[in-house]
Amino acid sequence: MDRASLDPAIKLIISEIHLKLDAAKRIAKAAEACATAGSIGEALRSRWISNN
């Protein structure tokens, strides 16, 4: 592949990584809030549901 073909593919991959990291951050923040509030089970459920 030449550079012109690779650049858009790399940008797309980086965008996908960014989206997944943002989603993971939201899940972690919600799980932390549940755990802080004393609901460890809910924190774990939030993580589990998001992955399935």
Among the listed residues 18, 26, 34, the one whose alpha carbon sits nearest the alpha carbon of residue 50: 26
Which pLDDT tens digits describe the chain residue by residue (52 residues)?
688 889 999 999 999 999 999 999 998 898 889 889 988 887 777 666 655 5
Q: What pLDDT score was predicted for residue 3? A: 84
Q: What pLDDT score was predicted for residue 38? A: 87
Q: What pLDDT score was predicted for residue 43? A: 77
Q: Is residue 13 part of a domain?
A: no
Q: Is residue 32 part of a domain?
A: yes
- State how many domains the chain has: 1
Alpha-helical (H) ranges within 1-52 are 3-36, 40-51
Q: Is residue 2 part of a domain?
A: no
Q: Which domain holds residue 44?
A: 21-52
